[in-house]
């Protein structure tokens, strides 16, 4: 085993790898950029080295040499599937904890990968098989394959740059967008096109191979719950496969790995028709550790990072002789994103963080840290294991309900709603399920009890202190005959008036047009306990300037008290046409100039965050005024990029 290993990554995967290194007694080295100087993975390491970029091969190798690292674990993302990096490690005499560069190169190019595994007898999806197709050649290939099709970058993974196309009139724009995203994410805009399998299920096989010709598989993971071709929830085993189907897919995955001389841990991904599970097609091979590897670890009782290290150190078949699955495991990814806004990335400072106990949590964030738009929006993974799938689902739901993360929008509430859906509970999954049901899993309104809790928090803050209470200091003031009503105007998605009268120990509250209800509140450590109409709930709270973050049952709401000027500004905006950035990111395209006439729905700019593009359109017919957007400029969520002034008449 190595004495010192450098982890060339950040976030939760760096923390997770460092945890195994510490358990094995191996010195762990972290690297970090200036933005991550105080990040959890830096704290978890034995030593940390500042670098200019996680993508700089020279910086990472210099850090390895300076710290005496004998091996480098790349995690996933960044340099994990970079052929040049793997080769550079070998040339420098440093072990790369992963497959040889030749295997990465063979499987990293999806076109070449399909050709390679097809020769080994692995079934592949019908599609283009030529490298470097021009736009015209892609159009011709689509005409031959037939709609619907899936455009995919030949390099990279993670769902970035993938686009479904169902109509000929959408193809040209989809190719242009896919090329831009592929170039931005992977530095290579080569595309391929495949037949789109309808009602597909995404099932992948975990493989392990050593440098002595031995290879095994550790069953499958179901990864069909996705948004934007990126996974949200993964589980092992799949509720779809029979033992015979599992054996057939596992054997095909092992053959695919052997066809390129693979070593280490890797994942072979298949697409399976929900109605024809005996028919499966190779999609790609991820030549690295997968984000969802914990569910396999929980089911098979292994540490895949340890096995990667042992293979890289030259050990023969370091995995257990008997690889028998036990029970069921499900993982939910916690993202900084807004499911109600099309899963757009969010960001901000983490004001409060309380992670659940009793389940496995792999997290790469801490309270006080800032989530920006430079890196992937995944914050943590919550993994539950049970004797069967039903128990694992129950344990995961309870764990998510106990999770508190305040300061930025997350998908935790959405995850709970999704996991409770009858189709998900029954295992009736496909990769389009999230897209079809997202509206059912997103709450369009703020619960009344949350707004009442915001009012209770204001009452507690206004409560007079001391043994003697001046009646004129009581919230709402004192009146002959009883306290007066006080009105708070709160805004979450839209303004709501909340009226209260009385003190926090005994008050009445009216939310919006609702009926009066009894209210009482008290502080409970860093939380508040609120009794509304006889029902008591505990809320996590955190203040960020004028915004009060309130969390309960895994959900979180940013409640802002409106001033009179804010109300007037909101009314004015309803008649005008401000174009604002829906997420923190970078302006990549500005389509208009100051004074230009535009029509409602016309694209005026493009904002990119975390390698995803979002087109901004004119809200009304009018003229562009006060153009502030500049290509290459960084913008905050809600920043006004321009005004579209309605034309008179």
Give the distance, in angstroms, between the CA of residue 224 and the centroid of all CA atoms in the same chain.
15
| Statement to judge: residues 230 and 362 lie in one domain | yes
- Burial of 196-229, coded b for 16+ CB within 10 Å and e otherwise, reads bbeebbbbbbbbbbbbeeebbbbbbbbbbbbbbb
Spatial CA neighbour of 262 closest among 285, 282, 290? 285
286 Cβ contact list (under 8 Å, min separation 6): 76, 81, 107, 157, 204, 266, 267, 269
CB 352 within 8 A of CB 403: no
In a domain, 583, yes or no: yes
CB 644 within 8 A of CB 577: yes
Distance CA 414, CA 429 (A): 17
| Statement to judge: residues 162 and 246 lie in one domain | no
Q: How much is the pLDDT for 27?
A: 98
CATH number for the domain spanning 39: value is: 3.40.50.20
* Confidence bin at 345 (pLDDT 50/70/90): confident
Give the distance, in angstroms, between the CA of residue 147 and the centroid of all CA atoms in the same chain.
29
Spatial CA neighbour of 330 closest among 244, 245, 424, 257? 424
Token code pair at residue 176: 């242009």
> pLDDT over 70 for what percent of the chain?
93
* Confidence bin at 468 (pLDDT 50/70/90): low
| Statement to judge: residues 356 and 488 lie in one domain | no
Spatial CA neighbour of 216 closest among 227, 206, 226? 206
- Specify the residue for token string 């200036």: 34
pLDDT tens, position by position, 39-81: 999 999 999 999 999 999 999 999 999 999 999 999 999 999 9
In a domain, 596, yes or no: yes
| Statement to judge: residues 27 and 85 lie in one domain | yes
DSSP 275: T
| Statement to judge: residues 227 and 353 lie in one domain | yes
CATH number for the domain spanning 636: value is: 2.40.50.100
CATH number for the domain spanning 392: value is: 3.30.470.20
| Statement to judge: residues 619 and 606 lie in one domain | yes
Domain around 78: 4-97
DSSP 38: T
| Statement to judge: residues 427 and 332 lie in one domain | yes
pLDDT tens, position by position, 222-253: 999 999 889 999 999 999 999 999 999 999 99
| Statement to judge: residues 215 and 343 lie in one domain | yes
Final residue before a domain boundary, out of 502, 531, 564: 564
Q: How much is the pLDDT for 573?
A: 47
Lowest mean pLDDT of 180-189, 265-274, 288-297, name the range. Answer: 180-189
**Do the strands 71-73 and 95-96 form a parallel or antiparallel pair, or are they unpaired?**
parallel
Residue 570 has pLDDT above 50, yes or no: no
| Statement to judge: residues 581 and 553 lie in one domain | no
Q: How much is the pLDDT for 322?
A: 92
pLDDT tens, position by position, 499-556: 999 989 999 999 999 999 999 999 998 899 999 999 999 999 999 888 999 999 999 9
CA atoms within 13 A on the CB side of 110: 27
| Statement to judge: residues 615 and 641 lie in one domain | yes
In a domain, 219, yes or no: yes
In a domain, 418, yes or no: yes
Total number of residues shown for the chain: 649
Does residue 135 sit in helix, strand or coil? helix
* Confidence bin at 575 (pLDDT 50/70/90): low
In a domain, 569, yes or no: no
| Statement to judge: residues 543 and 629 lie in one domain | no
402 Cβ contact list (under 8 Å, min separation 6): 354, 356, 357, 554
In a domain, 503, yes or no: yes
Final residue before a domain boundary, out of 501, 530, 564: 564
CB 135 within 8 A of CB 172: yes
Q: Kindly tell me the number of DSSP H helices and DSSP E strands found in the chain.
A: 17, 38
In a domain, 105, yes or no: no
In a domain, 457, yes or no: yes
CATH number for the domain spanning 165: value is: 3.30.1490.20
Final residue before a domain boundary, out of 80, 97, 114: 97
Spatial CA neighbour of 331 closest among 356, 377, 289, 294? 294
| Statement to judge: residues 377 and 230 lie in one domain | yes
Total domains in the chain come to 5
């Amino acid at each position: 085993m190595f004495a010192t290993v450098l982890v060339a990554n950040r976030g939760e995967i760096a923390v997770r790898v460092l945890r195994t290194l510490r358990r094995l007694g191996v010195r762990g080295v972290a690297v970090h950029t200036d933005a991550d100087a105080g990040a959890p993975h830096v704290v978890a390491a034995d030593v940390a080295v500042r670098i200019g970029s996680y993508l700089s091969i020279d910086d990472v190798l210099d850090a390895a040499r300076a710290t005496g690292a004998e091996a480098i674990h790349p995690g996933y993302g960044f340099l994990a599937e970079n052929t040049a990096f793997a080769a550079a490690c070998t040339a420098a005499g440093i072990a790369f904890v992963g497959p040889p560069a030749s295997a990465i190169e063979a499987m990293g190019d999806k076109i070449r990968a399909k050709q390679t595994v097809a020769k080994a007898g692995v079934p592949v999806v019908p599609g283009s098989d030529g490298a470097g197709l021009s736009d015209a050649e892609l159009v011709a290939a689509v005409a031959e394959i037939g709609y619907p099709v899936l455009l995919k970058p030949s390099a990279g993974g993670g769902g970035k740059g993938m686009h479904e196309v169902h109509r000929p009139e959408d193809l040209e724009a989809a190719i242009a967008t896919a090329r831009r995203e592929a170039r931005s994410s992977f530095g290579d805009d080569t595309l391929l096109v495949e037949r789109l399998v309808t009602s597909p299920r995404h099932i992948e096989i975990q493989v392990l191979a050593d440098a002595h010709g031995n290879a095994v598989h550790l069953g499958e993971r179901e990864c069909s719950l996705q948004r934007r071709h990126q996974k949200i929830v993964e589980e092992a085993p799949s509720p779809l496969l029979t033992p015979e189907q599992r054996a057939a897919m596992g054997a095909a995955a092992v053959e695919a790995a052997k066809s390129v001389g693979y070593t280490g841990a890797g994942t072979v991904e298949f697409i399976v028709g929900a109605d024809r599970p005996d028919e499966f097609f190779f999609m790609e091979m991820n030549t690295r550790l997968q984000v969802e590897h914990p569910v396999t670890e929980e089911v098979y009782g292994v540490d895949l990072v340890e096995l990667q290290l042992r293979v890289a150190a030259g050990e023969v078949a370091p995995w257990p002789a008997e690889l028998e699955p036990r029970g069921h495991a499900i993982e939910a990814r916690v993202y900084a994103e807004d499911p109600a806004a099309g899963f757009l990335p969010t960001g901000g400072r983490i004001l409060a963080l309380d992670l659940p106990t009793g389940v496995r949590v792999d997290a790469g964030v801490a309270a006080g840290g800032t989530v920006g738009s430079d890196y992937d929006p995944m914050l943590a993974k919550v993994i539950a294991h049970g004797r069967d799938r039903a128990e694992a689902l129950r344990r995961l739901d309870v764990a998510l309900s106990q999770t508190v993360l305040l300061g930025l929008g997350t998908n935790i509430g959405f995850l709970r709603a999704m996991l409770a859906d009858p189709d998900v509970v029954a295992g009736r999954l496909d990769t389009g399920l999230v897209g079809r049901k997202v509206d059912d899993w997103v709450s369009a309104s703020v619960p009344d009890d949350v707004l009442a809790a915001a009012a209770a928090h204001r009452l507690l803050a206004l409560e007079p202190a001391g043994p003697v209470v001046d009646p004129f200091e009581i919230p709402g003031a004192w009146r002959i005959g009883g306290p007066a009503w006080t009105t708070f105007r709160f805004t979450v998605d839209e303004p709501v008036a909340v009226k209260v009268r009385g003190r926090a120990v005994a008050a009445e509250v009216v939310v919006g047009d609702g009926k009066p209800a009894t209210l009482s509140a008290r502080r409970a450590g860093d939380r508040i306990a609120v009794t509304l109409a006889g029902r008591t709930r505990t809320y996590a709270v955190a203040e960020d300037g004028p915004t009060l973050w309130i969390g309960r049952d895994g959900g979180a709401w940013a409640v802002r008290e409106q001033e009179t000027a804010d109300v007037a500004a909101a009314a004015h905006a309803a008649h005008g046409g401000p174009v604002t950035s829906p997420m923190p990111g970078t302006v990549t395209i500005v389509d208009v100039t100051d004074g230009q006439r535009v029509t409602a729905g016309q694209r005026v700019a493009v904002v990119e965050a975390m390698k995803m593009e979002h087109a901004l359109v004119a809200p009304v017919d009018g003229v562009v005024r006060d153009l502030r957007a500049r290509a290459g400029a960084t913008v905050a969520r809600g920043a006004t990029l321009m005004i579209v002034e309605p034309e008179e008449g």
